Every structure is written in C-alpha cells, then in structure tokens.
Amino acid sequence: MVMEFPRQLSPMLPTASAELPTDPERWAWELKFDGFRALVFCDGQGGLEIQSRSLRSMTFAYPELLSLARALGRPCVLDGELVAVDDSGKPNFELMQERLGFHPANGWRRRTPKHPIVYQVFDVLFLDERDLMGLPYRDRRAELERLGLAGENWLVPSVHTGPGALEVQTASRAAGLEGMVAKHLGSRYAAGQRSPAWRKVKNWSRQEFVIGGVSLDLAGAGGWLGGLLLGCSTPAGLSYCGGVEMGFGPGTVEALRELMPQLRREMTPFHDREPRPHHVYFEPALVCEVQFLEWTSLGHVRHASFKGFVFDKEPAAVARESEG
C-alpha cells in the first residue's frame, strides 16, 4: 500500500484529571467509550490498515472495516476507538476479547467474530496528503465532519462544546460509560505524547495491569478461579497491585483455564510479594484492564472489577498511571 503520509504514528494521549476544566468555553467534550484505540490508514485506492497504539497491525481482526476505505475514497489517517457492541447496542469492553485468542508463543490470533465492531472516529490527522496535525482541534473536527462518515460499522460520535460539561458527565455515568475526554479547542495533535490539552475525566479509576497469576477458589462455590493477581512494571520488576475477583464472564474463565498450562511458572513474578499458598503464578505475558474504586495506602486496588484482556500493550509498558 503506497501512502504519502507516515506509515506508522503513535496516537496523542490524554492526561488523567480529577476535575473538569474551569473554562468550558475553550473545550470540547467527548464521551469515552470502552474499546481499543486505533489509527486507520486509508490509501485512497480502497486499501486500509488498522494500527494499534503500540504500532501493531490489527487489520486482520476487523474485516468489517475494510469497506470504510472504499466508502471514503480519499487518502487519510483517522483516529478513533474500536468498540464492541452487545445485543442491546451498548459498548462492552469484555466482548472485544472474543475477537482475539492469545497464544504465548505466537501472540494474538483472530477468532470468528460474534459481535459487531463500530469504529468511533474522533479525529483526522492526514487528508488528501495534507498534514492536519498542526491545525487546532476545532479545525480538524470540522474537516472530519465534512467527510460524512456514517456506515454500519463506523461513525463520528457527537461532540459537545461550551457549557454543559456537567450534564455530559452525568449522562456518561448514567449510561455506564468510562468517562469523558475534554479537548482544548485550540490544541494541535501531538502524536506520541500525553498532553494536558486532552484531559480524561473518569467516572471510575481504570487502567491496565499485568496478570501475574491466579488465586484459587478454595470454597469452590464459583468454580476454580478465585481471582487474578495484578501487577505493574517498575524499574525493580513487576510490582504487586492487589487482586480482582469480580467481573469474569464464562469466556474469560475458559480462556484462563486453557492458558494456565502454557503460562504457569513455579516462582512468583512479583519482586515485592512473597509466594502464597493457593496461588498459581504466570509468566507476565497477559495484560488486562480493570476498573476500581481507589488505590489503598499499600498500593493495591480496592473494589476492583475485571473488564477484559488488552492485546495492544506490552507487559513491560504497563505502569501505574498518574491519578491526575
């Protein structure tokens, strides 16, 4: 595929913020959907490539998006979120893992799709070989809306400007969404950077963790799985961050049972936690996303719920996120 713009780009990332900006007239508000961040490269001749935030190609996993390039018919680079939709039409992060199976030696592989994917397009970086990243967000958004992207598997979600941020936040909570992203109307697109010009205001704390093993359910009431042992990468090694015991669907439990013989190791992967009875330790190869209430004084997650596996981030890159 021949393209005049860069073949690979790292997306711009938001900083975490505990509060909404105090000057709402300078910001736009977008709802934060539960999905995988992805850049889409269209060559203008019907060719398309989907790239994860870690620069991996994901085109093979989402064949229903291939017609986007033909529908658009122009060379461009789009930024957005791949979202799985359940039977009620609601975004569901855990359903994303149904698309991909994990093998420790071969990485992620495609599974047969069971639920539709919608690409929520919220930015355009290149268009007709023009670099738009230096334009203010308001101008890029105007270019994006003029493209008229509306299909069965892609859309441009609504954006809110000026006063009303609190109402948007309330609506996102009522819908059970992760939160919202505030974007400064004058902000340029800073590829590969985490910028305060984009601010993620979460309804709950949420981030990725490395799975260091599982705890066994001794009571046996809920099956063999008691919970996952979570960790974050540090210069000293994998640091223990507590466990998560809620939010597992049948597919998650089945996948972990299948992977256990391949990932199992004798020694704990955590540098700061002694081995415990009834724990089975894993090679730190799997990453998951977890929603939780807060961090404890010991640096462990509290009231955590499993949301799904994450395939587009290397375990070594999973660090504790700033709380804003």
Contacts of 17 (CB under 8 A, 6+ apart): 182, 199, 200, 201, 324
* DSSP string covering 153-186: TEE----EESS-HHHHHHHHHHTT--EEEEEETT
Q: In the structure encoding, which two tokens stand for residue 305, read together?
A: 């719920």
Match 């268009």 to its residue by tokens.
127
- How far is the first Cα of the chain from the last one, in angstroms, to the nearest whole number? 40
- How far apart CA 118 and CA 109 sit, in angstroms, is 20
CA trace torsion 171, 172, 174, 176 (10° rounding): 160
Out of 32, 183, 200, 307, pick the active-site residue. 32
Longest distance between any two alpha carbons in the chain, whole Å = 61
**Among the listed residues 200, 197, 165, 158, the one whose alpha carbon sits nearest the alpha carbon of residue 22:** 165
**Does residue 32 carry a catalytic annotation?**
yes
- Known catalytic residues? 32
